[in-house]
Amino acid sequence: MIPGALLLLLLLGALGAPFAPGARGSEAEGRLRKKLFSGYDSSVRPAREVGDRVGDEKDEEMSTKVYLDLEWTDYRLSWDPEEQEGIDSLRITAESVWLPDVVLLNNNDGNFDVALDIRVMVSSDGSVRWQPPGIYRSSCSIQVTYFPFDWQNCTMVFSSYSYDSSEVSLQTGLGPDGQERQEVHIHEGNFIENGQWEIIHKPSRLIQPPVDPRGGGERRREAVTFYLIIRRKPLFYLVNVIAPCILITLLAIFVFYLPPDAGEKMGLSIFALLTLTVFLLLLADKVPETSLSVPIIIKYLMFTMVLVTFSVILSVVDLNLHHRSPHTHQMPLWVRQVRRSPLQPVLTLNPNIWLFVQVSLLPPTNFNLPFHRPEGELQLLVECQSAKVFEC
The 10s digit of each residue's pLDDT in 103-113 is 888 777 766 66
Is the pLDDT score of 230 beyond 80?
yes
Q: pLDDT-based confidence at 32, cuts 50/70/90?
A: low
Mean pLDDT of 7-22: 34
Q: How many CB atoms lie within 10 A of CB 374?
A: 11
Three-state SS at 4: helix
Bond before 21 cis per omega within 30 degrees: no
Strand-pair partners of 248? none
Per domain, the residue ranges of the chain are 32-209+220-233, 236-322, 333-386
Q: Is the pLDDT of residue 36 over 70?
A: no
CATH number of the structural domain 32-209+220-233: 2.70.170.10
∠ CA(230), CA(179), CA(45), 5° rounding?
Answer: 95
3-state secondary structure of 179: coil
User: Cα-flanking dihedrals φ and ψ of residue 311, to 5°?
Assistant: -65, -35
Which of the four pLDDT bands, split at 50, 70 and 90, describes residue 64? low
Query: Would you tell me how many other CB atoms lie within 10 Å of the CB of residue 57?
Result: 20
Cβ–Cβ under 8 Å, residues 125 and 76? no
DSSP bridge pairs for 8: none
The whole-angstrom separation of Cα 62 and Cα 190 is 9
Per-residue pLDDT tens for 300-310?
Answer: 888 888 888 88
pLDDT given for residue 297 in this prediction: 86
Average pLDDT over residues 358-374: 47
Amino acid (1-letter code) at residue 200: I
Give the number of other Cβ atoms within 10 Å of residue 242's Cβ: 17
Average pLDDT over residues 363-390: 45
> Nearest 5°: CA angle at 187, between 186 and 192?
90
**Residue 383 pLDDT exceeds 60:** no
Q: Which residue has the higher pLDDT, 295 or 44?
A: 295
Distance CA 340, CA 360 (A): 19
Residue 233 has pLDDT above 70, yes or no: yes
Q: How high is the pLDDT of residue 171?
A: 76
Q: At 382, is the pLDDT very low, low, confident or very high (cuts 50, 70, 90)?
A: very low
Confidence at residue 35, expressed as pLDDT on a 0 to 100 scale: 58
Q: What is the pLDDT of residues 193-211, one digit of tens each?
A: 778 888 888 887 877 766 6
Say which amino acid occupies 178. Answer: G
CB contact burial 31-42 (16+ within 10 A = b; e otherwise): ebeeebeeeeee
The span from the CA of 136 to the CA of 116, in Å, is 13
Instruction: Name, in order, each residue with C-beta under 8 angstroms of 88's C-beta and a sequence gap of 6 or more.
Output: 81, 123, 124
Per-residue pLDDT at 97: 81
> Quick check: 36 and 97 in contact, CB under 8 A?
no
Whether the CB-CB separation of 67 and 111 falls below 8 Å is answered with no
Question: Taking all residues of the chain, what is their mean pLDDT, rounded to a whole number?
Answer: 69
**Cα 391 to chain centroid, rounded:** 73
Distance, first Cα to last Cα, the chain: 140
Mean pLDDT is lowest, of 29-38, 166-175, 313-322, for 29-38
What is the per-residue pLDDT for 347? 62
Lowest-pLDDT choice from 9-18, 229-238, 257-266, 312-321 = 9-18
pLDDT tier, 187 (very low <50, low <70, confident <90, very high otherwise): low
Stated pTM of the model: 0.60
Beta strand pairing status for 66-78 and 54-62? antiparallel
pLDDT, mean of residues 74-99: 81
pLDDT value at residue 213: 53
User: How many residues can be counted in the chain?
Assistant: 392
Tens digit of each residue's pLDDT (9 = 90 or more) over 237-292: 889 888 888 888 888 888 778 787 776 777 888 888 888 888 888 888 877 777 77
Q: Is 96's pLDDT higher than 60?
A: yes
Residue 63 has pLDDT above 60, yes or no: no
